[in-house]
Amino acid sequence: MKVITVRDYNELSAKAGQLITDLIRSKPDCTLGLATGGTPLGTYQYLVERYRAGDITLKDVQTFNLDEYCELPRCHPQSYYRFMHDNLFQHVDLQAENMHIPCTEGGDPQSQCDSYNTLLNSTTVDLQLLGIGSNGHIGFCEPGTPFTRETFLTRLSDKTRQDNQRFFNSLEEVPTTAITMGIKNILQARSILLIASGRGKAECVAQMINGPITEQVPASALRQHPNVTVILDQDAAALL
């Protein structure tokens, strides 16, 4: 695990965005695994700026998102489908057929998990972007998730729902379930880039890097992968 500490969120976003830009320039038809949450916003902004400057095109890039809330229609302002369109997809030349996000609308959740998993297994993600939950979750793989898990229907922990309440009007509005890539899917990527910012992430980051490799800290599974880069701002690195 290569750990890079930068001064602040802006530097973190530029560094992560530069790494993704480098990949897209060297492999224009690469497959990206994408994350949601507050942390990647600056990285997506950076990519949009590089696209507008004519430095990159995403017309042959494929994307696979980590997860999607159940209980929200895709048009809901807090669905990850909307998040990706609002913050990245609508601003670049990515082709609609190349954007993949788990579908949780209608249908049977198990077959939705199975079809997303089949799609994922038909490709190899070149770079998987990740944030980290304050309880050490990645995607929506909560503490206790077996490392062997593939795409599944997950129940969100109380901690995760409280953390994500800031995006909703009340705790009751935060979904209780989601479809997420499993840890096994995440570890199949050729490379992984995890970004974390702020003092609220310092404990989980320290556990991920220096604690035991345990299902209680899902992000600790990343230490079993040969090509992981972690970019932290100084606050997130405070306990290293």
Q: What is the phi/psi pair of residue 32, to 5°?
A: -110, 135
Catalytic residue among 65, 117, 126, 137: 137
Q: Which of 42, 102, 139, 182 binds ligand GLP (CB under 6 A)?
A: 139
Kindly determine how many residues on this chain lie close enough to bind ligand GLP according to the rule CB under 6 A: 14
Measuring CA to CA, how many Å separate 93 from each of 35, 59, 90, 189, 202? Answer: 19, 5, 8, 23, 36
Please confirm, yes or no, whether 86 is among the known catalytic residues. no
Select from 21-29, 108-116, 133-141, 227-235 the region that touches ligand GLP (CB under 6 A).
133-141
Taking the C-alpha atoms of residue 63 and residue 100, their distance in angstroms, rounded to an integer, is 6
- Name residues contacting ligand GLP, limited to 22-41 (CB under 6 A): 35-39
Give me the DSSP letters along 131-184: ---TTS-BTTB-TT--TT--SEEEEPPHHHHHHHGGGSSSGGGS-SEEEE--HH
Question: Binding of ligand GLP at residue 43 (CB under 6 A)?
Answer: no
Question: Binding of ligand GLP at residue 143 (CB under 6 A)?
Answer: no
Question: Binding of ligand GLP at residue 220 (CB under 6 A)?
Answer: no
Please confirm, yes or no, whether 67 is among the known catalytic residues. yes
Q: Which of 23, 66, 113, 236 binds ligand GLP (CB under 6 A)?
A: 66
Give the list of residues 6+ apart from residue 37 with CB closer than 8 angstroms, or none. Answer: 131
Question: Binding of ligand GLP at residue 131 (CB under 6 A)?
Answer: yes
User: Which is nearer to ligand GLP, 51 or 140 (by Cβ)?
Assistant: 140
Beta bridge partners of residue 3, listed in sequence order:
230
Whether the Cβ atoms of residue 167 and residue 205 lie closer than 8 Å to each other: no
**Residue whose C-alpha is closest to residue 103's, from 79, 127, 78, 129:** 79
Q: Which of 160, 185, 188, 220 binds ligand GLP (CB under 6 A)?
A: 160
Q: Cα torsion for 135, 141, 147, 151, to the nearest 10°?
A: -170
Select from 12-20, 101-109, 125-133, 184-192 the region that touches ligand GLP (CB under 6 A).
125-133
Minimum CB separation of residue 111 from ligand GLP in Å reads 22
Residue type, position 62, single letter? Q
Catalytic residue among 65, 117, 135, 164: 135
User: Can you count the helices (H) and strands (E) in the chain?
Assistant: 7, 10
Please confirm, yes or no, whether 215 is among the known catalytic residues. no
User: Which is nearer to ligand GLP, 56 or 112 (by Cβ)?
Assistant: 112
Residues with a known catalytic role: 67, 135, 137, 142
Instruction: Using CB under 6 A, list all residues that contact ligand GLP.
Output: 35-39, 66-67, 131-133, 139-140, 160, 164
